[in-house]
Structure 1
């Protein structure tokens, strides 16, 4: 392992790079690098470590310019390790550039090693390289899925587990997840348009403009109605209503006597719907629900299939609803960052033999202290499935609340982490 260090705001920062197998089972040759940034508060060199798994999949770890929120609270008791999950950040990247030399089958085979089971194995390799005893895990959203896989696959490496907005269903088809998330997304649409009634008209007008006239994003591709409707992902955050309202407040301009979408509006929409910064989020998204027989085989683009049964989300509707955290196959043909990976993504979506990520028997006998925050109105991780999983993990202490949207750890991280730690140690 290679390590470089510097100082940040009264803290030592150690940047670790570790070489790990591409396939921890040994069946496929090759290695990749995994990067982690460790932050140690002055006077805290002897503290145990906490590893952070951020949401995703396919997002790199936080890059803190200053210390605040959950990180500030964590550093009172831990050395904090911010792990760039494989394929992201300074870990060996996996994107259209790095995978260009592989054919479609090779891309899919390579990316099949980038799920939660491999991330858990990477974390264990890092823990051992650091000489760490069992450590604490804090997982947000998809990070909670990883933490649950960790409890299933390597509980010996865990001292305690904290999860925010990220308890996954342990089994069952992805369709059930999407039926629930679409229902909650519809409720968030209703609440948003009740607060800003004029925005329902604006969304319909923008959709009409896109049906009748070609409008191009700054990256060059034509913007479709379906892709525009994905700005609804903002509805799942605590400040999303207002940020979405500001995006929609003045989308049109008249040019040469013709109505067009403003360049600024197109740029802002592009910033929301592009996956250039995190392509694995789109390519691997449905694989997080794939567990072979435990998930009834392949996901086969479950979000797309469920959407087709919901006329209120039809992009051709007079007033179509905005979509949320849903990935559709056509996106990989429309987003330039995803086009070279679209066939590999289709192979992954139709793969039937992904191994199980969670072990219900191991979780039922769990001995690791676990506390999890479950948000009643979460648009991305359905509370119904999270509550069932909470009951299936022995000793888990749930915090069920309607105080937060999905980003509770971002907006109130210090207090939220403090509450979970207090619950864990009663």
Structure 2
């Protein structure tokens, strides 16, 4: 899934292959010290020659003796793989992309590699098995978009389930929203330390496979089902939220490394073709197929849902996922949802988060203050009084002094009389 060397760094595959089966004939001329290449399924021969129930495993010399009278009971067997080669094993391979994607288990191919399963690249696989369709082989998982509906559903749910393994820390929501997370340094991102940990850490590390599967199997295209893409995007954004507060240990580094070097590039490609799907997943009222993971899997109040959703949006800001176009479109929906759906006595839970985002000097948004409040400024030009009044109510929701000063100045410059109205509703000491 990850042929690029950088993606394989820090990924350790640890397994022990079972030893080859030795010959089991009682009168083996090699004294049972050689590996078996055939097995006999005739129970009479198994009991007579090996004093055991079938199957009876025999070496090449013993197989020659049995082949004279019992050839119909002899079956070829494969030797175990000591390791899984990442490149094509065909000695005549001339492909520039020799990453192995196919494992053939047929005797014809296995005989070329010591009766072990043979690994082929895509070019050798097509050249070999295009003329030998009877071979038994195993291919890498195909693209999600090219699968039939049933397999497509299985793959999507597998990716979603893997991403859900990155659950938030138990005390994550007790951390003050205004506190900056300790971010790994560049040295830490390039570190190749092992990422072993306790059971909880291993569960979080499983989410990496969900990321790899999604990025490799769901390449952005124009003609893809938006329902499937939206479900994957919504779960990916929830994964950003779930991994935003991990400690700066080996597990945190391993997951953090995926974001700037792997996931963000994929999201940029998606935004070129399906920006509207990204926007729909970042709204306070997302479409039905995007309601997956996080608070959507639990019973929670509307205030909690808005708080979690807004925090998820903030977790995407440091990675330039929330561009100006995204921000300018989605933030009015969030402010309106807070104004109309969150009771006055519960808005205090959102104050720290809102002040952090809308702070003129310390905002994490990747653009200047004029663009930050563009969605407000444009609604004061040639608009009706109810629209401008709605703008002022949004500013009151923000409850941030620096917001009031900057936008208040713009209001007085454009519409004059509205300045006095804004001062009256702000209740902010900075104005």
**Range class of TM-score, shorter chain:** under 0.3
In proportion to residue count, which structure has more helix? 2
In proportion to residue count, which structure has more strand? 1
TM-score (structure 1 length as normaliser): 0.25
**Rg (Cα) greater in structure:** 2
TM-score (structure 2 length as normaliser): 0.25
The structure with higher relative contact order (CA 8 Å, sep 6+) is 1
